[in-house]
Amino acid sequence: MIVWTHGLINRLVRLGDLVALAVATTFAWALGWPEPIGLSVAQGIFLLALILALYNRVAIQTNAYRVEHYRVLTRTMAEPLVALVLACAAACFLLAVFLPASFEAPATLAVWGGCLVLFLFGHRLITRVLVTHAFRSALLRRRVAIIGALDRTSDMVESLLDPGQHNTFELVGIYDDRGPDRRPETVGGVPVSGTIDKLREAVRDGHVDMIIIALPWTAAVRIQGMLERLQGFSADVVIPFEGNDFRLNFSNVVRIAGMPSLQVAHRPLKGSQGLLKVIEDKVVAGLGLLVAGPVLLAAALAIKLDSPGPVLFRQPRVGFNNRNFDCFKLRTMTIDRNDDGTRGTTRDNPRITRVGRFLRKTSIDELPQLLNVLRGDMSIVGPRPHVPNMLIGNHTYLEAVREYAYRCRVKPGITGWAQINGGRGTITTVDKAKKVVAFDIFYIENWSLWLDFKIMLRTIFGGMSGKDAY
């Protein structure tokens, strides 16, 4: 889930700058001021916060946070220095207006300013080394696959294989669904790797970050078919323009190795968002297991005493990028080897045990999925995972709801936006299935830490039990 991007690195550098300035102030204070500066602790903290806020704003406005600048020594030093000087100048102006006595200690101000510059430069030198290493190790390189072995594909291959793009893009392969008699063996010297099914396997295994659909814009039906087949996989999908004279002011236009393209899908929760999501999952799951440990032990004992069979129940579920994983639950039913879970469970199912009915009603049976979160199979919040080929009536969920596969672009969750909005329980109608998918897509497109926090609170205080929990 954590994908290194320019945006993530820029945010980490910005955070590092602010931390460096705060540590520099602490270091200067620990050294001991040469002269009393005439500021109370509260005033000093306020002044530091003001400097940090001003520095952050000026640095952003002067483009001090650009990955390509960090590798140039003069720019990586000069740009933050300019922002710091302007921020300190503004702070000194406020001191001159509201606390002129502080200027009676110029040596103290000089020591403070010197520490700020020293620590900021130290941080930027470290940044330069790390970013240079990131480029050399291809950490920021995007793995690209092309759909369509056509004439225009040769130009794309040439652009992607240009030596100047070596640290930015890696061409994984070319894929084409046409038959062997119509599909060339190579394009631009690059072998055609296979059909779209081969591409889906590569994306599922995490070998592709971006997919370029090289089909002509006139093949709208084929492009739509490709998008439907790829919607369940977490990768950016772009369709290059056929010329350079497009002026689509309101489109999400990106450049891929110099080629203007229309981005028609994007990978959700990447960069800093993916990092925050992973941290949230690990912290909440760890704390949840500590708190729920006694409850799980008591439930395990009750299950053993109530009915024969294992305490922990494992069932294949569809997860991130359409990859199956074993979902953990406390066993709440008697064992039936013929039940694959595709029909769900009804409220009056006679296989539900006495203890199991209570565990299901209170959602305690879902707590072992915290282990799935720690393993990386699931998130705390996300679309609920279903068994492969989940049925709605006589059709699979994917057949009943076209947008269903979109849910697999993020990790499934223990709870989700759909669950706190009436999407719990067995789904038996297409209308309810569509509503659940709509809620899941809304969550993916509007994710934030605050939204996750709100979902977790509503789950704890009302969403773990109710008429749909059985």
Query: CB within 8 A of 319, min separation 6: which ones?
Result: 325, 377, 378, 385, 408, 411, 412
pTM exceeds 0.75: yes
Paired with 391 in beta bridges are 396
Residues 366 and 258 in one domain: no
Closest C-alpha to 9, from 134, 118, 166: 134
Split at pLDDT 50, 70, 90, the class of 118 is very high
Residues 233 and 368 in one domain: no
- Euclidean distance between CA atoms 148 and 157, whole angstroms: 12
Final residue in a domain of this structure, among 265, 294, 328: 265
Domain residue limits at 356 = 272-463
Who wins on pLDDT, 289 or 468?
A: 289
Tell which residue, 182, 199, 186, has the closest CA to residue 153: 186
- Give 124's DSSP letter: H
Domain boundary among 89, 113, 136: 136
Both 362 and 418 in one domain: the answer is yes
The residue among 240, 265, 290 that closes a domain is 265
For 313-354, how does the pLDDT look when each residue is reduced to its tens digit (9 = 90+)? 999 999 999 999 999 999 999 888 777 777 777 777 888 999
Q: Is the model's pLDDT at 237 over the cut of 80?
A: yes
Q: Please check whether residues 278 and 415 belong to one and the same domain.
A: yes
Instruction: Say whether both 103 and 146 belong to one domain.
Output: no
Q: How far apart are CA 124 and CA 122, in angstroms?
A: 5
Residues 120 and 165 in one domain: no
One domain, residues 121 and 58: yes
Q: Are residues 279 and 391 in the same domain?
A: yes
CA distance 394 to 391: 6
Q: For the segment 165-199, what is each residue's pLDDT rounded down to a tens digit? A: 888 899 999 999 888 888 899 999 999 999 999 99
Number of domains in the chain: 3
Please tell me whether residues 187 and 277 are part of one structural domain. no
Given this model, what pLDDT does residue 250 score? 55
Task: Let me know if residue 317 belongs to a domain.
Answer: yes
User: Greater confidence, 306 or 101?
Assistant: 306
Q: Are residues 129 and 162 in the same domain?
A: no
Answer whether residue 251 is part of any domain: yes
- Within 260-353, residue ranges assigned H as helices are 272-306
